[in-house]
Structure 1
Amino acid sequence: MPRWKINLIVLFCGNFLVMAGMTMIIPFLSLYLKQDLGLTDEHEIGIWAGLIFAANFVTSFLFQPLWGKLSDRYGRKMMLLRSGFGMSVVMILMGFATNAWHLLLLRMLNGVISGFVPAAVSLVSATTPKKRMGFVMGTLQSGGTAGAILGPFIGGLLADSFGFRPIFYITGALLFLASVISWWLVQENFDREAASHQVQESVIHGFRELMKIPQLPVLLTITFFIQFAMLGPMPLIPLYVEKLHGTTANLAFFAGFVGSVTGMSNMISSPLLGKLSDRIGATPILLVSLLGASLTLLPQAFVSSVGQLLVWRFLLGCFMGGLLPTVNSLIRRHTPDGKESRAFSFNSSALSLGNMAGPVMGGALSTFFGIEGLFVISAVMLFLTCIWASQALHSRIGKTAEK
């Protein structure tokens, strides 16, 4: 089996374990604060939960470019293992937290050392033939998506059976397992001697140099807009489900199902759209996916039942499968060899920024427009992004037509 296929299979499993482990804590974070860390006031719990959730993205946004620089200097596998083993230790320490401050600081530290998924994307992209890049990026995305879908479900079941603290130990063990598997089986052709003789650029200088490549600023901006639009309505979807359902019976089940159905279709469509992008080009798939996501978000503001919402959320996931994988494929295509890690790290920062800004702005805008208005705003944002991306990417491609 070619080396790139072995790396893909191993890191597909690694992404699944990492994302499953990282999302296991989502269903019970506020309950952990209340029952194990001693917080009693609901308003205080809400504030702490928001801060703790966002802390990981804040520090990740700041430190990802540094890890990208070091990855191009010392190798992508080293950064993969640094992140995986480091996060496993931090996650276990979260199980020993005795107050909210401990959890906040550990989440910030987790963001500082995070980066397993971006490092996996960078490593696989550097070892994969460019003509298979779309399929590989889609497959890698589906592994992380599958973990993100099953993580909350598994975490909820384990929390009911064993309590909250053991989940952190189990999560740490999953991260450790993913790192060990990657250590044993993943290989990359990285010439550290040659890399050591290259001129070492600062993070800021490296960013400026990469931004001179016409397509990269466009792609990083698209990543931000995608995450901003997708995550804007997310925190309020359970309340929307409650409004549509009209009763508390099986409310948690339906809220969880609505949250996971998008990931299910995303997981299925990512490899298929990635394979199609290898045939017809990544840019057309990206533009069609942006348009499709916009057109499936809009009706969600006007549904009258949970069943209708489920249908549109499933269709949304089908188009989401062609968004971030094609962006990653295009970034690899337009980035010079030897700078892939740095380019993907800046894209990871753009993604983290969207993860932060989307829910915050969504919560603020919902005061004026309601959850229905957020779906409309997100749909319009993706539609405008599609139009702008079509013009911006093609104007920068110029005479270098995509094969």
Structure 2
Amino acid sequence: METWRRNLYILMVSQFLVMSAMTMIIPFLPLYLKEMGITDPAKTQLWAGIIFGANFLSAFVMAPIWGSMADKVGRKIMVLRSGFGMTIVILLTGLATSPLQLLFLRLLNGVVAGFIPASISLTATNTPKEKAGYALGMLQSGAVAGSILGPFIGGAMAEMFGFRMIFFLTGTIIGLATLVVLMAVKEEQKPDPTQERKGFFAEGSFILHQKPLLFLFSVGFLLQFAMLAPMPQMPLFVSELGAPGGYVAFFAGLVTAVTGMANMLASPQLGKLGDRFGSERVLFYAMLGAALFFIPHAFVQSVWQLLILRFLLGLCMGGLLPALNSLIRQNAPVGKESTAYGYSTSAVFLGNMLGPITGGFLSGFITIRGLFVLTAALLIIGAWWLRVSQSKVSDAESESSSVSQKVSV
């Protein structure tokens, strides 16, 4: 088997295990806080929100730093750093006895995190360019599958073994996945040690002055902001529609699961289309498709209608992040691919943080049905912005080529 394929399959399975482990804690985080003595429901929800978001906040800050280091010392070592670091932190989380300790450990987890973006960077730089879309789509499938099954597994295991044991199992799973990467993944395209390296801020300034990348970072932010804005309101919407048999929690989970399942199925196929016809086309039409399926969300009258639309939406979502990551790979300066992915990850995390907060605030004024329409509008704006940015980049490249020809003459 070709090295890049072996790496891909191992990293895909590792991402599945890591995402499963990381999302296992989602169903019982408020219950874990109650076990620590927080009995007031309002305080429990407040602490749960702060603790859950803390991980994204510190990861948002650290992603560019780890990306820059990956370009200097290698991508595989960054995967190992993150994997073993999270193993230790999550094992310690199982020993936490207060909300403050839990908050500190979640912040620390965000600091050492980065398994997923480091895996993406390692795959992108060690895969032939003509296969990058397919490879990144496969990685997306592994991560999404893990995020779907994780909460179900975590909820079931919490009932059987208790909350603290879940953290010990989670840390063990991530550690084993990292050991497999250590022993089996081979990084063939390593950073060039002779290449001149600048400081972190100088390299960051250089990346942020690359207009094609800056456009893509803004698209990634807008994409995640729009897609996640309605997510916290979905259980309430399912309850409003009237869940069959009154099983609100079950159908709220099913709504998320069918979207992820469709995403997982579509990602590799849309990645192949990106390799064949261009990732920018896949991203553009996937955004328009997602907008098209969000609009009827505002008019559904039953959970079954919502489930169908969420599945169709998931098919479009399968082409979003893999196509975006493929475009970043194509536009990143040679030797600075991981730095570019670091800033891209920060933009995505920022969208992950601000989207649900803004959506929750706006839903009080326009309801979740209005929020669906607003999300569709944001995705259409994002698709238009992508098309405009790609056109500007093409014009700039044509102008540069014309100037070069005149100079040579």
The TM-score range, normalised by the shorter chain, is over 0.9
User: Match for residue 265 of structure 2?
Assistant: 268
Counterpart-to-counterpart distance in 2, 1:249 and 1:307 = 14
Deviation at 1:375, TM superposition (A): 1.0
User: Match for residue 251 of structure 1?
Assistant: 248
Deviation at 1:177, TM superposition (A): 1.0
Counterpart-to-counterpart distance in 1, 2:208 and 2:393 = 12
Counterpart-to-counterpart distance in 1, 2:43 and 2:201 = 38
Alignment of 1:204-283 (within 5 A): 204-245=201-242, 249-283=246-280
Counterpart-to-counterpart distance in 1, 2:154 and 2:78 = 27
Counterpart-to-counterpart distance in 1, 2:245 and 2:89 = 37
Tell me if 1:64 matches 2:63. yes
Indicate how the Cα distance of structure 1 residues 191 and 21 shifts in structure 2: closer, same or farther if over 3 A, else same: closer
Tell me if 1:9 matches 2:6. no
Tell me if 1:350 matches 2:347. yes
User: Match for residue 25 of structure 2?
Assistant: 25
The share of aligned pairs that are identical, in percent, is 48
Deviation at 1:8, TM superposition (A): 0.2
Q: Tell me if the contact between 1:226 and 1:354 (Cα under 8 Å) persists in the aligned partners.
A: yes
Alignment of 1:3-402 (within 5 A): 3-34=3-34, 36-191=35-190, 194-195=192-193, 197-245=194-242, 249-398=246-395
Q: Tell me if the contact between 2:219 and 2:385 (Cα under 8 Å) persists in the aligned partners.
A: no
User: Match for residue 407 of structure 2?
Assistant: none
Q: Aligned with 1:59: secondary structure?
A: helix
Counterpart-to-counterpart distance in 2, 1:373 and 1:391 = 27
Deviation at 1:203, TM superposition (A): 2.5
Residue by residue, what CA displacement relative to the aligned partner does 1:135-173 show, whole Å, maximum 9, x if unpaired?
A: 011011110000000000111111111111111111101
Counterpart-to-counterpart distance in 2, 1:173 and 1:397 = 48
Q: 2:127 is aligned with what amino acid?
A: T
Residue by residue, what CA displacement relative to the aligned partner does 1:352-386 show, whole Å, maximum 9, x if unpaired?
A: 10111011111111111111121111111001111
User: Match for residue 404 of structure 2?
Assistant: none
Q: 2:50 is aligned with what amino acid?
A: L
Q: Give the count of matched residue pairs.
A: 398
Q: Tell me if the contact between 1:61 and 1:352 (Cα under 8 Å) persists in the aligned partners.
A: yes
Deviation at 1:246, TM superposition (A): 5.5
Q: Aligned with 1:398: secondary structure?
A: helix
Counterpart-to-counterpart distance in 1, 2:206 and 2:353 = 26
Q: Tell me if the contact between 1:81 and 1:179 (Cα under 8 Å) persists in the aligned partners.
A: yes
Counterpart-to-counterpart distance in 2, 1:112 and 1:91 = 13
User: Match for residue 401 of structure 2?
Assistant: none
Q: 1:124 is aligned with what amino acid?
A: T
Aligned CA-pair RMSD: 1.4
Q: Tell me if the contact between 1:91 and 1:171 (Cα under 8 Å) persists in the aligned partners.
A: yes
Deviation at 1:204, TM superposition (A): 2.4
Deviation at 1:40, TM superposition (A): 0.7
Counterpart-to-counterpart distance in 2, 1:37 and 1:279 = 54
Instruction: Please report the TM-score for the alignment, with normalisation by the length of structure 1.
Output: 0.96
Q: Tell me if the contact between 2:243 and 2:251 (Cα under 8 Å) persists in the aligned partners.
A: no
Counterpart-to-counterpart distance in 2, 1:162 and 1:373 = 42
Greater mean alpha carbon deviation, residues 386-395 or residues 227-236: 386-395
Q: Tell me if the contact between 1:242 and 1:248 (Cα under 8 Å) persists in the aligned partners.
A: no
Q: Which segments of 5 or more consecutive residues in structure 1 lack a partner in the other structure?
A: none
Counterpart-to-counterpart distance in 2, 1:221 and 1:204 = 20
Deviation at 1:248, TM superposition (A): 6.7
Deviation at 1:399, TM superposition (A): 7.5
Counterpart-to-counterpart distance in 1, 2:215 and 2:256 = 29
Q: Aligned with 1:201: secondary structure?
A: coil
Off by >4 Å, runs of 4+ in structure 1: none
Deviation at 1:69, TM superposition (A): 1.1
Counterpart-to-counterpart distance in 2, 1:299 and 1:382 = 14
Q: 2:224 is aligned with what amino acid?
A: Q
Counterpart-to-counterpart distance in 2, 1:38 and 1:241 = 31
Q: 2:197 is aligned with what amino acid?
A: Q
User: Match for residue 402 of structure 2?
Assistant: none
Indicate how the Cα distance of structure 1 residues 362 and 191 shifts in structure 2: closer, same or farther if over 3 A, else same: closer
Q: Tell me if the contact between 2:125 and 2:189 (Cα under 8 Å) persists in the aligned partners.
A: no
Counterpart-to-counterpart distance in 2, 1:214 and 1:322 = 23
Counterpart-to-counterpart distance in 1, 2:341 and 2:126 = 15
Deviation at 1:337, TM superposition (A): 2.1
Q: Aligned with 2:196: secondary structure?
A: coil
Deviation at 1:202, TM superposition (A): 2.6
